[in-house]
Amino acid sequence: MESVIAEKYAVALMQVAQEQKSLDATGEEIQAVRQALEAHAELKGVLEHPRLKAPEKLEALKVLMGRKLSVVMENFLTLLILKKRIQHLKAVAEHFERLCYKIKGKVVARVLTAQALTSAQRTDLTAKLGGTFGMTVEIREEVRPSLIGGIMVYLGDERMDGSVLGQLERMKQRLLKVEIE
């Protein structure tokens, strides 16, 4: 349900940003608002508080961010607050980012590794993924020592598991299927 709601609001924001020719600025601004919400848990409580009015909630957000919001973003956040959808802001920001990348012919790949990639490995992986999917790829790397070794890549709906942990799990599943006579 959240995904459907977030997508609708992200598409609406995208349309307004394109009309205003402020796609990049709006993208940066919604990500900044999302980061502010993630960094300050108390702000989430203020924005979702039922007794506070929309202008008070918006003012609290502006004070915390320490900067003036654009008219587009201010109107958008007011709409989310009035419609009681502000809790979906993170998902809206993620959908908005994906839409922006799609317009630009880019895609984000979430890459999990046991240890940080070197610059050369990052460059090679970006080139290989770009060639495979026919798009410009931006890598967002997460280090997960539990993978033991190797790499996992999430790109859109695709999941490629080349981790040692994944290989051990697949081996375990095959061994469990073997019948002993």
The domain locations on the chain are 2-101, 105-177
- 141: which strand partners? 111
**What pLDDT, on a 0 to 100 scale, did the predictor assign at position 1?**
66
180 — pLDDT class (breaks 50, 70, 90): confident
Cβ 149 vs Cβ 164: under 8 Å: yes
Sign of CA dihedral 55, 56, 61, 66: positive
Place 181 in a pLDDT band, splitting at 50, 70 and 90. low
pLDDT for the residue numbered 128: 94
pLDDT at 25 over 90: yes
Between 41 and 96, residue with greater pLDDT = 96
Q: What is the mean pLDDT of residues 69-88?
A: 90
Alpha helices in 23-118 (DSSP H): 23-39, 41-48, 54-65, 71-82, 89-104
| Region 147-176 average pLDDT | 90
The yes-or-no verdict on residue 118 having pLDDT over 70 is yes
pLDDT given at position 121 = 95
Intrachain domains 2-101 and 105-177 with the same fold = no
What's residue 67's pLDDT? 74
Look at the domain 105-177 and name its fold.
Glutaredoxin (3.40.30)
Best-predicted range by mean pLDDT (40-49, 119-128, 155-164, 169-178) = 119-128
Pick the CATH number of 2-101 from 3.40.30.10, 3.30.70.1230, 3.30.70.260, 1.10.520.20: 1.10.520.20
Residue among 3, 58, 14 nearest 36 (CA): 58
Q: Give this prediction's pTM.
A: 0.72
**Owner of token pair 């095959």:** 174
Do the beta carbons of residue 13 and residue 95 sit within 8 Å? no
Residue 47's pLDDT is 83
Whole-number pLDDT of residue 62: 80
Rounded Cα distance between 132 and 179, Å, is 39
Q: Residue 80 and residue 181: Cα distance in Å, rounded?
A: 63
